[in-house]
Structure 1
Amino acid sequence: MIMMAFQRIHSLLLLLVLTLLGLGLVQPSYGQDYMFQRFLRQHVDPRVVGGNDGYCNLMMQRRRMTQNHCKPVNTFIHEDIWNIRSICSTTTIQCKNGRMNCHEGVMKVTDCRETGSSRAPNCRYRATSSIRHVVIACEAMVPVHFDK
């Protein structure tokens, strides 16, 4: 049942991306498209309001962030892609890497932090759900990287 829900979410996200491409609202390059797909896989879960430790453990594994090593920290954004994408139209700010393609907004999120006592692929996480400022890097009005 959970796997079916995940497949449905994945299908809906793919349909959304294809619709955006078809409407000409998003015209990513190959590299940008890869980065956008990766951003969606790692950071977007609009159907959940907030998660607990079990949510983080399950989602980190499902989204393939525990295969070779335990990703230390990951944030899931609980907003639809239109709300997330709207951040790309806000004032540009400096990213952690020094580039000037980051944008800031307020989103519902779950931060997943690895406990430090687990090993891949059985990584264990602690969850913190909140509404907070997030910083996202965008390329041509498309979110491609979660900065902080």
Structure 2
Amino acid sequence: MLKISPADVYPRYQKFIDQHINRQMRIDRCDAVINGKRISKTNSNECKETNTFIRANLNTVRSVCERGGVPAGNGLTRSLNPFDIVVCTLKNHGGTVPHCRYRGQSRTRYINFACDRGYPVHFDGDIVHLEN
């Protein structure tokens, strides 16, 4: 079990890890991973429209909440560097877990997420390129 203080951050941080961190994720594994982890819409058994997996180690992702990210507005933090990600997009709309079917795409993108006291707790999206 991870040591995190304060304790109220831990459940949200653990959910972020479970749903979005997978160093070995492949585009052909969306169905198996999402259904296996029972990832669904919040407070529902319905399939999520999309789920993004970040192919990086946890410390690298967590560093975005500190020195590796910048404020992006609305309480979000944007990574200073792009990450390798797999975006899984739902194919069978209206489905329920564990019968969700996804199409996976590999991308390299900057990422936005919410941080709480130095820990990522909510993935908000990815960005193709930054405006200067």
Q: Could you say which TM-score interval applies, normalised by the shorter chain?
A: 0.7 to 0.9
2:77 corresponds to 1:102: yes
Going by fraction, where is strand more abundant, 1 or 2? 2
Residues paired across the two proteins, number: 118
**One-letter amino acid of the counterpart of residue 88, structure 1:** C
**Inter-partner Cα distance in structure 2 for 1:76 and 1:116:** 19
CA RMSD of aligned residues (A): 1.8
SS class of match (1:76) = strand
**Inter-partner Cα distance in structure 2 for 1:120 and 1:51:** 22
Q: Give the fraction of aligned pairs with identical amino acids, expressed as a percent.
A: 26
SS class of match (1:147) = strand
Q: Normalized against structure 2, the TM-score is what?
A: 0.80
Q: Which runs of 5+ in 2 are unaligned?
A: 126-132
**Counterpart for residue 27 of structure 1:** 5
**Inter-partner Cα distance in structure 2 for 1:113 and 1:70:** 10
Pick aligned residue for 2:92 from 95, 102, 116: 116
Pick aligned residue for 2:51 from 56, 70, 74: 74
Q: Deviations over 1:61-103 (max 9, x none)?
A: 0121247111110001110001001111222111xxx3x2423
Q: Which runs of 5+ in 1 are unaligned?
A: 1-13
